[in-house]
Structure 1
């Protein structure tokens, strides 16, 4: 970053660019895992979803012989989308997901939701465990599941299948479409664009810990649905929380760290000024984070805290310049140097007019231009009232042009490639998936009950200590456990001879259960003995109930260098 954070603009190398001529207008972006022909390369591909969040522009054939089509504000016979709207020259449309090859930079059409009439895609996420993508459809409200080759597999309908899980009436899509040839279409009125009803309109999507989290509507609710071992939707939708923010703005992006925090970014309502100056009503969108109650408060409806923590975004009054995108990044040391041994330690968020505040102009001038539209990079612990105003952040402009203080909504989503490798590598997906837990031979199961825990997801990291496994476990038997410890009781061995396993006995809600593994050979199966128990029982002293399980782990085939 060139030095400690002082609110300065960071000058970056000229970026690789993909133009609107190639892909049209896009908002949601995500990376895959960089696996090519079954081999991790460390070089991911980037995916981008077509959008109407940067406005809709239509034209009719040239009528005045100037060689150019006629731009239209309202729907008209013969109208088509303007070149640069959806990448139509490359076969794109409003439901297209584009792929940008991480090695060659080649742009190609990856997937197409051909039923989308114009509203486009809300956002995208990649599930590395099952090597599949999810895309939210602003036209129908469906969440589409797409395989690694770009084939649409199936979809989840929140309006019909999700809402009843929280006692809400089902809401089917009303069939509205964007009809740019019809008289009711107005390019400056998003209500005429054919969005599905707000109650079923899905915006942000994020896969985490065996579940797909998604946001719904402008008075945003966060929901989740389980993802089965074969990658399909489990059909267990769950209301997580209703966002508490000053404005009822859509949450267009969701991210998680490995400490149990959920991060949300709002984007102001869609605008479409004819002069291209404004695509969103910016200046009041928030970036916030939630964490689970510890212990859970039975008096509250959600397992998440009622009031989120907020970040200062930008220098303008109120510090709420969010443009709707966020992601997590490695840490940085006190001199601004990247620290890849610390994963998900920094929050990167997109925003408008990030360094524009006349009352601070003299101080800000030392750090570069004021008209910065791009991203703000902030250590994730700096929640308000810390970092107000955000002189503890770095800023990056998205296009290197600083004479445009009037524009709003030109910046969209942001994705960071941060494989969290520690010393040698970060491994999300193990071929063959994960194996189910089972009872130890010396611990006869009570009756014919199934194992008290099931595995929702596993993430592997290399750390300075060696291999670390983050376990996302589900207490499907209702045992009520909230803590684990490795077995045998000395906590230094696994059930696999010669392999050591240690675990922390403290566990915060929402965080994965973490075990460290040493002494194994890469690619080996390691049987980890676990005691699953309630911390409140243990704290009473003496004997406490413990459900004993063996969890077989397929370790990554690459060694963690030490």
Structure 2
């Protein structure tokens, strides 16, 4: 048990009930110091409370369970006194602590937001809308830009029929509304209901439904949705529950946190079922198994969360933070070595009380910290974990679902994470004519490099090259070789469906920061297949590699 100093708190009276959390990148115009702001999204996952006007003149509004004329949300539900609503996202300034309304999805009738994610490359946010099923794209100033509709645009990518939102809304003044029955709350259909979100490797990953599936959609160079939705996997867990949070570590592992079904007890004791939600870890098949549909392993690893058996006390929040050294200090060389999970009744197991009581209170609702290597059956029960309570109150063993998401600020100096984009380190290079091939009439090279980006992968550094066909030869293929001794590139030849798709080259044997000269031939695959001589645009490209190392 870890007893933490009193935290900075923002009460529900100011912003209402929130679940989804995200940090921005900490960049500020007024200072070079990197201090992030925290963003918190309105939710119904912590219950819905409605009231009508004070009738018994006791100075308090009358709480209602069923919808009726004149009903409104209880103060503290959505921060309405500060202009908030069920679609609100709040910004907490990392320096001053000032709280402001950042963005508002005013079409959300009450279900709220599933989660939010920050896109560092384009300095924008994404928010999943539990009312409509849309994923909203929001700029750094809080302006809503556009949306992605998984039901309409995602499902057909897997051969499924499109499914539009049914138009159901929450009506707290209608007789059908029941505060203890989430089916009356106006959620969009389960098959299009998006919960957890995470940016990784230039794609937005998102979780759909209670029989959860993980999908992703590319984010284009200009920050827009790329229109290439892709099914990643169907979650294999003991119970079918929504995945409310997603996280990735620097090695490309994907972590998923389930949350129990919504339970809104009138006595405030429970906002979610507890004891069945798993925390899972997936990784990519290497090499990809052609016999499996997914590029991810079919069976995930699982973590023991909490001491009550079967060790599935998760509350739906997950993130990673630095590891620790032998003296208990952060190890900044271990960027994502510790898994942080939210949960209920984390130390409450009567059968183990004699062992647990020496370490502190039992009724802990908060976070569990575990080395990411301790997957089940290791650490089962989780005596190798640390625990911290959210509110420092330990006399509430029966409450459930009061804890929500967790977010950790970790700048992660050092090695770049797998599949995370690394911007090109300098100006985009200009291709030159090959040595000994003087250009006719001083014409510029027949292709130009529009942009380039790097990624670390388990196999090493990869470069995405976006080519512009300056000469108009209609090319779709590229052959490449290294002209720098000791450096290799692969593959030697590749074809893309269109030049909106980058040519991807693996680079190995270089020193980080070294400029690697590439010999490129840009051509049309159909011309090459015809045999004999075919047009080929030959250039030399000096490619500056990033300072980041992709070493394990």
TM-score norm. by structure 1 comes to 0.81
Query: What residue is the counterpart of 1:323 in the other structure?
Result: 315
Pair 1:119-2:101 in alignment: no
Structure of higher CA gyration radius: 2
Pair 1:138-2:138 in alignment: no
- Distance change >3 Å, CA 13–CA 438, structure 1 → 2: same
Pair 1:148-2:144 in alignment: no
Q: What CA distance in whole angstroms lies between the structure 2 residues aligned with 1:472 and 1:89? A: 50
Query: What residue is the counterpart of 1:75 in the other structure?
Result: 67
Q: What CA distance in whole angstroms lies between the structure 2 residues aligned with 1:549 and 1:192? A: 64
1:150-189 residue CA offsets vs partner (Å, 9 max, x unmatched): 0000000000000000011100000000000000000000
Q: Secondary structure at the match of 1:239?
A: strand
Question: Gapped runs of 5+ residues in structure 2?
Answer: 438-444, 468-474, 489-505, 521-537
Q: What CA distance in whole angstroms lies between the structure 2 residues aligned with 1:433 and 1:72? A: 59
- Distance change >3 Å, CA 454–CA 381, structure 1 → 2: farther
TM-score norm. by structure 2 comes to 0.82
Q: What CA distance in whole angstroms lies between the structure 1 residues aligned with 2:15 and 2:378? A: 40
Q: Tell me if structure 2 keeps the 8 A contact 1:25–1:86.
A: yes
Pair 1:230-2:226 in alignment: no
- Distance change >3 Å, CA 148–CA 25, structure 1 → 2: same
Query: What residue is the counterpart of 2:484 in the other structure?
Result: 488
Q: What CA distance in whole angstroms lies between the structure 2 residues aligned with 1:36 and 1:470? A: 31
- Distance change >3 Å, CA 471–CA 431, structure 1 → 2: closer
Query: What residue is the counterpart of 1:221 in the other structure?
Result: 213
Pair 1:182-2:174 in alignment: yes
Q: Secondary structure at the match of 1:297?
A: coil
Q: Tell me if structure 1 keeps the 8 A contact 2:49–2:179.
A: yes
1:345-369 residue CA offsets vs partner (Å, 9 max, x unmatched): 1111111111111111111111110
Q: What CA distance in whole angstroms lies between the structure 2 residues aligned with 1:151 and 1:433? A: 30
Q: Secondary structure at the match of 1:35?
A: coil
Q: Secondary structure at the match of 1:159?
A: helix
Provide the aligned C-alpha RMSD in A. Answer: 3.6
Q: What CA distance in whole angstroms lies between the structure 1 residues aligned with 2:349 and 2:374? A: 20
Q: Tell me if structure 2 keeps the 8 A contact 1:439–1:550.
A: yes
Q: Tell me if structure 2 keeps the 8 A contact 1:470–1:515.
A: no
Which 4+ stretches in 1 moved above 6 angstroms?
Answer: 428-440, 448-454, 474-481, 484-487, 512-516
Q: Secondary structure at the match of 2:359?
A: coil
Query: What residue is the counterpart of 2:295 in the other structure?
Result: 303
- Distance change >3 Å, CA 553–CA 15, structure 1 → 2: farther
Map 1:48-127; keep pairs closer than 5 Å: 48-127=40-119
Q: Tell me if structure 2 keeps the 8 A contact 1:209–1:472.
A: no
Q: Tell me if structure 2 keeps the 8 A contact 1:43–1:102.
A: yes
- Distance change >3 Å, CA 66–CA 208, structure 1 → 2: same
- Distance change >3 Å, CA 91–CA 308, structure 1 → 2: same
Q: What CA distance in whole angstroms lies between the structure 2 residues aligned with 1:348 and 1:450? A: 48
Q: Secondary structure at the match of 1:366?
A: helix
Q: What CA distance in whole angstroms lies between the structure 1 residues aligned with 2:122 and 2:543? A: 18
Aligned length: 495
Which one has more relative contact order, counting CA pairs under 8 Å at least 6 apart?
1
